[in-house]
Structure 1
């Protein structure tokens, strides 16, 4: 199904048709941020439904959930095998870079490596053509940062969040044990980061590939998981153990996160949330505009919180 979009503008006092663009559903972007979140939560919900515990186990947050861990390990094994063993035409095996002018322009058509190649096989060449790396690295290949292969590691990251919740529930009332296990998980994940860093250096890859910004790599998951457990431990100590802070003002937009997200997506480019800057190259004006817009949404969320209005899906 195709339809025509006419761009109109006023010229010499009359409206003129200046452009005509054909749009087709074959160009529809199937993956996306919310799609990835929804699929991740769906898989995690299945794991907890079929292999969870009906009663809260006391001081057991790993052993009793061994079926979940088996499935997560299998999923991660699939990601590792596809990422580092799948042959990608005209690209080195295991490539995780951006392509384009990245890596000194050695692999211009290898954007995303196996992740990008898998998505192009599944969705065709009409898939998402405007990723962030296109402008920065001058890439030519279509690439979706929320593609299929990267969703596997999103599930693993979400599972780490589930693990944090299991710790809080299983050790409820034992604050020292909760903090200790948070820190223990941070140490385990930082060891994974160290091992991965050494592996990359031995294999000849440069350390900047560890960020996994294009494929949401295992290194990215372990790095973010490590910092998340450290931050969670600090927040738990400050808020739950000592009671020094109640989470303000972050609690207000957090209670209406969907409303704030959709509102910013629709209105974020309009006044009073943003305006046309006089100094495009000025970092301070961009910073002020971002802080101003964020402050307005926090204020809106606070007013909705006072009115007990919460938008949920």
Structure 2
């Protein structure tokens, strides 16, 4: 990898400087050519599948360069097209100014949705048939070779764990069955130590490395995505409905904050700290998180355009609400039943907590689907803009967007939403807005339930089974909400939507978090097949790494201005950022330097 970097500095990396058909490749772009003489004054329109029910957009053609024009074209005109998603083309009369997505009478002809290849040369004929002049390339088939930069990292992980296992081998006793019954183990211990039992060892606080590992893994993915993710579409936030890799990380952070609530509060209660003092600690921590969030992404030198919502702000507030609710209902461990814990017993014992949390989710549903919005349909949850033929242009996000614009003002929320608009700065919409905070609170509550599994259940088997049980319940529920009624992309009951933090989104992402946590707990804390490195190092200092990468991370050597329009260089840059921050996290871990709020 160092060779890659050295050659990049010398600006002599042929792997990055890619050409197809004699023309420099532009990421996610292909070229469409027409015979101007055959088309005359006709217009060409396009519609991308990713843009749900969007208006057709006119495709502008310019005269092709004589240096690299395709053979056989006397007077070719070309247009650059975005090939990240399938698109369809239509030819219409020059007088047509607007076409609805379902308009089949206005255009002369319509080409069905097709996927184009990067760098390809295509000809559009009068009857909307597409012919390949020169084939391009499928992105993942070639650009996947750039993942070779990850190979040394993978080899290091394998080598590190083999070396670690060998170092521990002489000291390890015969491995115990992690799923053995507690009572059987106790009987065996009594038989061995029947004559003179050893005095009980002092209780030692157990730290589950899997929790920090999942937190670190989420942060590494977040940094990778924030540094571009190779500029692949699946590493970007989805335009509206759906799910990509970039949409995973923040929900998992919220989930893990819920896990830590149970463990932290139980520890303080056991030490005899009063609830008043604990509530003060919760308040201080929440204020710190919210303040740090505003400092890092508030963003502007002018208070007039200061952004109030943000990632840390939402985490801080959601943590505060769930932690206070749990603190109010939590009992001293001596008062809680020690055995025979089950689903219904836990629900009855913490009934008030469950009731409040589900009421918050109910409030989100009522506000989303029942709040009247001027000029928009009640219950609208679409992206507005060009979607639905532009009929609800100013309705982006429905109630969520309306509440933010009314309470916070358009100047104090995010102004570059991922949804499609016919102008770069359309109607503002903040994905970390006020209404979505309600479902974020519910996600922290679900993380709290995972934390209870580690605290209440005493055997690895019961912990894992309960985590997987919760994963199944919420995963199935979320998928049902996201698929029932699914007909034309976004007509499900409640589509998975990160911008709105829809109920199905929270359920599905929580299910993934439950499953991943159970898996990491099994291979790290139970079987000891992996110690969590290097994700564990990042997770131990997650707030420090997050803040540093947000404040100082967008400079060399973490990122740089790409010289070539290449996924290969973008992938190298995206990998370099988390790689260097992971090294720094290990440096802090090795020196026992940890930052917490």
Return the TM-score normalized by structure 1.
0.85
Q: Deviations over 1:160-191 (max 9, x none)?
A: 1110000111002x111111111111111123
Q: Deviations over 1:247-294 (max 9, x none)?
A: 1100111111111111111222211111121113x1121111011111
Partner Cα separation in structure 2 for residue 23 and residue 244 of structure 1: 49
Partner Cα separation in structure 2 for residue 254 and residue 212 of structure 1: 27
Q: Match for 2:394 among 99, 105, 109?
A: 109
1:237 aligns with 2:522: yes
Please name the residue that 1:302 is paired with: 586
TM-aligned CA distance change 1:115 to 1:300, over 3 Å = same
Partner Cα separation in structure 2 for residue 297 and residue 57 of structure 1: 44
* Larger mean Cα displacement after TM superposition, 148-157 or 191-200: 191-200
Superposition pairs of residues 245-264 of structure 1, within 5 angstroms: 245-264=530-549
Q: Which structure shows the bigger proportion of residues in helix conformation?
A: 1
1:163 aligns with 2:441: no
- Secondary structure of 2:418 counterpart: helix
The 8 Å contact of residues 98 and 214 in structure 1, kept in 2 or not, is answered as no
Runs (4+) off by over 6 Å = none
Q: Match for 2:324 among 26, 46, 53?
A: 46
Partner Cα separation in structure 2 for residue 161 and residue 136 of structure 1: 36
Query: Tell me, which stretches of 5 or more residues in structure 2 are unaligned?
Result: 1-299
RMSD: 2.4
CA shift, 1:144, in A, is: 1.5
Aligned residues: 290
Which of 1 and 2 has greater Rg? Answer: 2
Q: Match for 2:440 among 154, 163, 170?
A: 154
- Secondary structure of 1:133 counterpart: coil
Q: Deviations over 1:188-241 (max 9, x none)?
A: 112312331354438995259722122111111001011111111111111122
Please name the residue that 1:16 is paired with: none
Partner Cα separation in structure 1 for residue 388 and residue 306 of structure 2: 31
- Secondary structure of 1:126 counterpart: helix
1:277 aligns with 2:528: no
CA shift, 1:129, in A, is: 4.2
TM-aligned CA distance change 1:48 to 1:275, over 3 Å = same
Partner Cα separation in structure 1 for residue 420 and residue 573 of structure 2: 23
- Secondary structure of 2:486 counterpart: helix
TM-aligned CA distance change 1:271 to 1:149, over 3 Å = same
Please name the residue that 1:25 is paired with: 303
- Secondary structure of 1:298 counterpart: helix
TM-aligned CA distance change 1:295 to 1:136, over 3 Å = farther
Q: Deviations over 1:90-133 (max 9, x none)?
A: 22222222222234434221111100101112112323242342
Partner Cα separation in structure 2 for residue 24 and residue 241 of structure 1: 52
Please name the residue that 1:141 is paired with: 427
Partner Cα separation in structure 1 for residue 356 and residue 422 of structure 2: 36
Q: Match for 1:73 among 358, 362, 368?
A: 358
Partner Cα separation in structure 1 for residue 522 and residue 301 of structure 2: 53
Q: Match for 1:217 among 502, 508, 514?
A: 502
Partner Cα separation in structure 2 for residue 24 and residue 37 of structure 1: 25
The 8 Å contact of residues 96 and 214 in structure 1, kept in 2 or not, is answered as no
Partner Cα separation in structure 2 for residue 241 and residue 294 of structure 1: 28
Q: Deviations over 1:50-81 (max 9, x none)?
A: 01122154325433111110001111111000
Please name the residue that 2:464 is paired with: 179
Q: Which has the higher contact order (CA 8 A, sep 6+)?
A: 2
Please name the residue that 1:287 is paired with: 571
Partner Cα separation in structure 1 for residue 594 and residue 323 of structure 2: 23
Please name the residue that 1:6 is paired with: none
Partner Cα separation in structure 1 for residue 325 and residue 488 of structure 2: 35
- Secondary structure of 2:564 counterpart: coil
